[in-house]
């Protein structure tokens, strides 16, 4: 039997090879066949989950909360010492230097990542801005958000911090960070569908072993997860979900 391994569609294109390397390594070490699925958008991910279940999901924290509480997925791991921080950036030619310079009616580019929007709205509180006072400009990717900034089509954009740091050096040289979060309690989560629990111990052993062999260094660098993966309990996941609920209030 082949298990479906679905990856949240918010990683940088340069990480694509890393996920395939991980998939191959996990298969070899667990003895379990995995089919890697990489949706190109949150909409495509949602459609995939509606049309059939994924056995293992690397989910962003917002989606993980729904999958755990609504669909019974079981959290079992997360990236070690790697948190989901976000950046609000502007074009270096915009004249803006901090979030307080953003005014009602400003245009902000953002992807479908709900957790990034959630944290970003908290970071905008010093500017007395809420969701209704912003003209949101939807984009399909963080690269597209950067292009909007460079063209002056928006005043600011929301980025997952990892995605921002993965932009080319030339692109980043033309952008300015207005603020970056430092929450340290929110991260992507590895989830298991209840139907594959008999295979979970083998998968856990394979995931937690990543980084123990010399050859794993290149794999972890390709993923951008230098410390590999660590266990995550149901209690830890519930704490993270409660924290996100607090951010929503």
Would you state the pLDDT for residue 178?
97
Question: The CATH number of the domain where 35 resides is what?
Answer: 3.40.190.10
Taking the alpha carbons at both ends of the chain, their separation in whole angstroms is: 43
* Statement to judge: residues 176 and 101 lie in one domain: yes
* Statement to judge: residues 213 and 159 lie in one domain: no
Q: pLDDT band at 49, cuts 50/70/90? A: confident
* Statement to judge: residues 73 and 31 lie in one domain: yes
Q: pLDDT band at 14, cuts 50/70/90? A: confident
- Of 153, 180, 207, the position where a domain reaches its end is 180
Q: Which of 218, 230, 215 is nearest to 77 (CA)?
A: 230
- For residue range 110-124, what is the model confidence (pLDDT) as tens digits? 998 888 998 999 999
- For residue range 77-132, what is the model confidence (pLDDT) as tens digits? 999 999 999 999 999 999 999 999 999 999 999 998 888 998 999 999 999 999 99
- How much is the average pLDDT of 45-53? 82
Following DSSP, what letter does each residue of 176-188 receive, concatenated?
A: EEEEE----S---
Following DSSP, what letter does each residue of 27-95 receive, concatenated?
A: HHHH--EEEEE--SSHHHHHHHHHHS--SEEEE-HHHHHHHHHHH--EEEEEETT----EEEEEETTS-
* Residue 98 dihedral angles phi and psi, to the nearest 5°: -155, 170
* Statement to judge: residues 154 and 219 lie in one domain: no
* Statement to judge: residues 244 and 225 lie in one domain: yes
Q: Which of 163, 162, 157 is nearest to 176 (CA)?
A: 157
Range of the domain at 70: 2-83+185-248
What is the Cα 42 distance to its own chain's centre? 11
Would you state the pLDDT for residue 208?
97
* Statement to judge: residues 93 and 122 lie in one domain: yes
Would you state the pLDDT for residue 249?
67
Strand pairing category for 2-7 and 56-59: parallel
């Amino acid at each position: 039997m082949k298990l479906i391994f679905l990856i949240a569609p918010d990683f940088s294109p340069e990480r694509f090879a890393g996920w395939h390397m991980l998939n191959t390594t996990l298969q070899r070490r667990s003895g379990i066949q995995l089919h890697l699925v990489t949706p190109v958008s949150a909409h495509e991910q949602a459609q995939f989950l509606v049309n059939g279940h994924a056995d293992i999901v690397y989910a962003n924290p917002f989606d993980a909360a729904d999958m755990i509480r609504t669909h019974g997925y079981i959290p079992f791991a997360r990236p070690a010492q790697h948190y989901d921080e976000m950046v609000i950036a502007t074009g270096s030619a915009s004249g803006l230097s901090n979030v307080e310079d953003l005014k009602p009616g400003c245009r902000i580019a953002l992807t479908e990542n709900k957790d990034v929007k959630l944290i970003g709205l908290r970071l905008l509180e010093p500017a007395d801005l809420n969701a209704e006072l912003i003209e949101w400009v939807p984009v399909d990717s963080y690269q597209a958000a950067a292009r909007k900034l460079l063209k002056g089509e928006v005043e600011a954009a929301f980025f997952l911090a990892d995605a921002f740091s993965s932009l080319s050096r030339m692109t980043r040289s033309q952008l300015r960070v207005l603020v970056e979060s430092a929450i340290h309690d929110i991260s992507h989560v590895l989830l298991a569908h209840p139907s594959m629990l008999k295979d979970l111990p083998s998968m856990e052993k394979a995931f937690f072993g990543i980084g123990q062999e010399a050859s794993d260094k290149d794999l972890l660098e390709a993923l951008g997860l230098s410390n590999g993966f660590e266990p995550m309990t149901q209690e830890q996941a519930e704490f993270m979900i409660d924290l996100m609920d607090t951010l929503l209030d």
